Amino acid sequence: MDSPLFWMMKKSRAMLPYMPKWTYPLFCSLAYLICIRKVLHLRKPRTFTEKIQWMKFHDSTEMKSRLSDKYLVKEWVREKIGDQYVIPLLGAWDTFDEIDFDKLPSKFVLKLNHGCGFNYFVPDKDRLDYADARRKIEQWRKTAFEFSSFEMHYAAIQRKIIAEEYIENLADEYVNDYKAWCFQGKVLFILYLTDRRNGLKEVYLDRNWSVLPLASGVNSKITEVPEKPENLEEFIRISERLAAGIPFVRVDFYRLNDGSFRFGEMTFTPCGGFLRWSPKEWDLKLGNLLTLPSAEK
């Protein structure tokens, strides 16, 4: 059961768009206290989670907005590492009723471009529940995602509905996610995720594919070391090319059954900066690796 304090936070989010901006750090500090169970030090952040919170309010740049936009980022990725890594775009619209389903293939994925988790899989268009799809898509389209965790770089994204090619093993139980954690443009470790249908499992590995004694407290831990991909160096190379010049970003890819990689997204604030690292000292270790940009920027 939610605590009264957590219930209050959920109710207050609806009011945030109408609150003065100087109150956002106050609400964020309260959310941090609830989630991390520590006082948030925004003036002199030291840990990773504190620095991510600081960057929400001092480094929500135009570039971050562009690279977080699931529609605009495709062209940027295509220019940086090549078209072969981009999941093909089938269309883009402002509202659900503008979608011409007759022009879409038998299977596809609908997404909203301005947040995370706004994905509607359509494995068979003939069995699509249009009423359910409209309800969810329109609800997501109207959601101010930036206020879910104060990730303000999402606020500048012009909301669109996009359709992507349905990648067969993106929706099945064998999907594997490779997430490169990049500090100052270098991949320092990799988060491997698998088994989405049966309960997402995770393991953190270094650049040489050795398991790290690290967990984020979000998913269950994998007990066996996953097989090292033969094209791991390729994954590191393309991740670092996308992360070049950025203080911190997590670059997410899917690895398909044929071994090829497909770009997923650029994530600047993983879990909104509310990750519960285990062991706890890793929060400070990772914080020491993250050099903050100038607040004046």
Q: What is the pLDDT of residues 160-216, one digit of tens each?
A: 999 999 987 655 545 689 999 999 999 999 999 887 666 778 899 999 999 999 988
For 83, phi and psi rounded to 5 degrees? Answer: -65, -25
Q: Which of 166, 189, 213 is the last residue of a domain?
A: 166
Does residue 161 form part of some domain? Answer: yes
Q: Which of 166, 190, 221 marks a domain boundary?
A: 166
Do residues 211 and 263 share a domain? yes
Task: Specify whether 132 is located in the same domain as 192.
Answer: no
242 with 270, same domain? yes
The residue assigned the tokens 């699931």 is 70
Query: Does the reported pTM lie above 0.85?
Result: yes
Residues 145 and 50 in one domain: no
Share of the chain above pLDDT 90, in %: 71
Distance CA 80, CA 59 (A): 23
Whether residue 187 sits in one domain with residue 66: yes
183 lies in the same domain as 56? yes
The percent of residues above 70 in pLDDT, for the chain, comes to 88
Q: Are residues 49 and 180 in the same domain?
A: yes
- Joined together, the tokens standing for residue 125 give 């268009």
- Angle between helices 48-58 and 282-289 in degrees, nearest 10: 50
Q: For residue 10, what pLDDT band results from cuts at 50, 70 and 90?
A: low
104 & 241 share domain: no
User: Do 71 and 179 share a domain, yes or no?
Assistant: yes
Cis peptide before 279 (omega within 30 of 0): yes
Domain that holds residue 135: 88-166
Q: 38-69 b/e with 16+ CB inside 10 Å = b?
A: eebebeebebbbbbbbbbbebbbbeebbbbbb
Does residue 189 share a domain with residue 157?
no
Amino acid at 244: A
> Which pLDDT score, from 0 to 100, does residue 174 have?
59
The contacts of residue 63 (CB under 8 Å, 6+ apart) are none
pLDDT of residue 296: 46
Sheet (strand 176-183) strand order: 220-221, 201-205, 186-194, 176-183, 248-255, 261-267
Give the chain's domain count.
2
Instruction: Give the domain-ending residue among 166, 193, 218.
Output: 166
* Per-residue pLDDT reduced to its tens digit, 211-259: 999 988 766 777 678 889 999 999 999 999 999 999 999 999 999 888 8
| Domain membership flag for residue 1 | no
